Every structure is written in structure tokens, then in C-alpha cells.
Amino acid sequence: MTRVFALAVAATVLIIGSFRLGGEAAAQPAPGIPVAKVQLAQDLPFNFKVQYWRSDGTAMFRNVGFDPTVGPWESELEYPMDGNFIIFGAEYAFNIGGPRVSLDFNYGFSEDIDGPTKDWDWVAFDPEPLIYAESDTDADSYFLSANVYYRLWAWGPRNSLDVFVGYHGQENSFTNNNVRVLTPGYFTAAGKVAEYEMDFKGVRVGLRMDVALAPRFSLRGNLAFIPYADFDTEGKWLLRDISFSQSADGYGVDFELCLDFEIARNIDFIAGIKYLYLRATDGEESGLAQGLPYGPSEVVDEIESDQFGGTAGLVVKF
């Protein structure tokens, strides 16, 4: 009876101590009583993220060249990148508790991008476009990144600085319908009139930093430079019977800043901003025009994808 009473007293002390310390096993157990160790949230090795990103922005390409009949010319097309992206991310941390290496994957996609595509054609020394047209756009986009992180510095339970290297791939696909030519004269055509697809592949290097602002709040910044990216595109202008491909080399930036609120030990709410920019210059184009091959010609002046917007999501840790 004495042994049972002692065990009951010890269990009661442990339970009261756990509640007083926020549920963490800080009290010392009585001899012979096994107590499970509670793993702190910052020591949970696997993180899974679901995030919403409202992207606002544009994608474009600009060609420049020379024609013997009109002289220097310029053509620019601007596509909408306004859409709702869903991002899934997963990260696993090795060697928890000290200097560590971690690995993550992030996949984001949107299938509801829409808006007008704008098309300008200029000849030299004339500020007014020779041709200006608009068309309705249906587009989708996806991107994939994979990164290996190395922890340079950690202080306190939720403060750290990591460096990383990784990969970034992105594809933007546009379908244009119902063209309206506004200059030099009004002209319309219904149905599908053009297709254009951008494909970017590049390497990433950067920094990630976590800073604890309060017991449950922290700030996370993630800045990735894309010092080299390979850009390839495919296009079809159905009304003109033109199909072409473009290639160029470029660079980019991927930046995210968010506030993290710990709802529970293994569930966080995150909200912030994200900026993703890709650009290439001085490329080549080749293709078929009315069945006749042309190029490769060094007419590609610039290819660009520019997106910015707010984010919100949940992180589950286990």
C-alpha cells in the first residue's frame, strides 16, 4: 500500500510540474517510473507546408531586328501572370540538435491565370505602334525548387542562419483567343489565335534566416539568387502560320519574407510576401513561316517573368 501511495504521489507531482512548465517534461521522475521525453517543436525533423500565393505580374518577350523595307523594328508581347498559386513544400533536417544539413522540395502551380495579352510592333523613330492588338489569355504555370541547406549559425531555440544551393525550374504556358487588332485598323478574329510556352531551368544559391520575435512569433526570410538560368520557348501564331522557338541565358531572384505564429507545438501559421523574377537577354529565334524555315537569328532582346504577391499557409511539424 505504501508503494502504491508513493507512486501516486510521484505521478501527481510530475503531472503538476508538467502543467506548470507548459507541458514539457522538466521535473525529475521518481526512481523506477518511466517518463516519455517531450520533443520540442524546433527539434521536429520533418516539416510539411501548404501555402497560398496570390501572384500579380506579367511575362513578356521582346524581339528587335532590321528589315530592308522599313529599317529597324521592335516587337513586344506582354502576358498576364495574375493568378492563385498553391505551393506544397517538404523539408527534412538531418542531425537535429547541432550544426545540421537539411533538404527541401517546393512545388507551386496555378491553372487559373487569365487576362489580356498585349502585342505591339514598332518601326524605328516612330513612337506610335505600327500594330497594336489584344487577345484573351488562358494560362497555367508551375515551378519546382529543391535546396540543400547548411546551418552556419544558431543561437537560442529559434534563431538561425543557413546557406543553401539548389535548383529552380518553371514553366509558363499561354493560350490566346479572340484577337482584337486596334491599330492600324480594327479587326477581330474568334477562337484560338496563338500559343506560347516559356521554360526556365537554373541553379539557386542563397541565405535563409529565422529570428524569434516573441515566444510564439518568429520572422523568416529566404533570399535566393539564380545566377544562371537556361530559357527555352515555343510559340505558334496560327493566323500568320508561324511556329518558332527561342533560347537565351539569364538570371533571377526568388525572395520570401513571412511571419510565423506557432498555433500548437507542431502546427504553425505563416503569412507574408513572395517575389519571383526571371530574365534573359540576347537570345536566338528560329522557326517556320508559311512553311519556310528561318533563323537562327539573334533577334531575341529580352524574355521575362515577374511575379509578386501575398502568401498565407500552414506548416505541420513531426
pLDDT at 91 over 90: yes
Say whether both 14 and 67 belong to one domain: no
Into how many domains does the chain fold? 2
Say whether both 289 and 310 belong to one domain: yes
Say whether both 12 and 74 belong to one domain: no
Output the pLDDT for position 43.
67
Computed over its alpha carbons, how large is the radius of gyration of the chain?
A: 28
Mean pLDDT of all residues belonging to the chain = 88
Q: What is the pLDDT of residues 14-42, one digit of tens each?
A: 333 333 333 333 334 445 544 444 444 55
Output the pLDDT for position 262.
95
Say whether both 23 and 110 belong to one domain: no
Q: How many residues in total does the chain contain?
A: 318
Say whether both 21 and 157 belong to one domain: no
Say whether both 29 and 171 belong to one domain: no
Output the pLDDT for position 46.
93
Say whether both 146 and 25 belong to one domain: no
* Four-CA torsion 98, 147, 309, 260, nearest 10 degrees: -20
Range of the domain at 29: 1-38
CATH number at residue 188: 2.40.128.90
Say whether both 27 and 163 belong to one domain: no
Say whether both 18 and 149 belong to one domain: no
Output the pLDDT for position 45.
87
Q: What is the pLDDT of residues 288-302, one digit of tens each?
A: 999 999 999 999 999
pLDDT at 193 over 80: yes
Q: What is the pLDDT of residues 208-236, one digit of tens each?
A: 999 999 999 999 999 999 999 999 999 99
pLDDT at 280 over 80: yes
pLDDT at 251 over 80: yes
Output the pLDDT for position 148.
97
Say whether both 298 and 237 belong to one domain: yes
Say whether both 33 and 134 belong to one domain: no
Say whether both 4 and 64 belong to one domain: no
